[in-house]
């Protein structure tokens, strides 16, 4: 799709790609910063989301997650994860689908995600017992 903009001086049309209002901003892999990832994963609800995504075989919709917080707070958590580069969100029809950016994170910070997920799993067992 191409958007043509009319110029009031009659100098012709400028052409630029149309951007859908449903496109969500994500950092490029070389823009992902360690401190942003660690901040995003420091919240128990966001860590819970990431643990579920890590255990999934593919993408999960936002409605899949049953978090004990309001819808607006859930939306905030997903936005923090997306903007930090931990997850990728895309619309598929009316559903917003979420996927862990495991390949990007593993390339940038080898072993970090695996270590964090392992530590979170051990903590969950410890706190449940």
Residue 4 half-sphere exposure toward CB, CA atoms < 13 A: 4
pLDDT tens per residue, range 61-86: 999 999 999 999 999 999 999 999 99
The closest of 45, 122, 34 to 86, measured between CA atoms, is 34
pLDDT for position 50: 98
pLDDT for position 30: 95
CA distance 69 to 49: 13
pLDDT for position 129: 79
pTM of the complete model: 0.81
Sign of the Cα pseudo-torsion (109, 113, 115, 116, in order): positive
pLDDT for position 15: 39
pLDDT for position 20: 54
Name every residue whose Cβ is closer than 8 Å to that of residue 57 and which is 6 or more positions away in sequence.
Answer: none
pLDDT tens per residue, range 4-41: 444 344 444 443 343 455 788 999 999 999 999 999 99
pLDDT for position 22: 76
pLDDT for position 60: 96
């Amino acid at each position: 799709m191409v958007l043509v903009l009319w110029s009031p001086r009659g100098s012709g049309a400028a052409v630029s790609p149309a951007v859908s209002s449903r496109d969500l901003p994500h950092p490029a892999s070389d823009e992902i910063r360690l401190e942003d990832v660690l901040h995003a994963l420091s919240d128990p609800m966001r860590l819970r989301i990431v643990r579920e995504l890590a255990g999934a075989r593919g993408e999960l919709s936002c409605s899949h997650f049953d978090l004990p917080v309001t819808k607006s707070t859930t939306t905030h958590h997903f936005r923090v994860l997306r903007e930090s580069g931990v997850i990728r969100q895309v619309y598929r029809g009316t559903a917003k689908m979420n996927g862990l950016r495991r390949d990007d994170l593993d390339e940038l910070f080898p072993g970090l995600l695996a270590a964090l997920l392992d530590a979170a799993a051990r903590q969950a067992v410890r706190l449940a017992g």
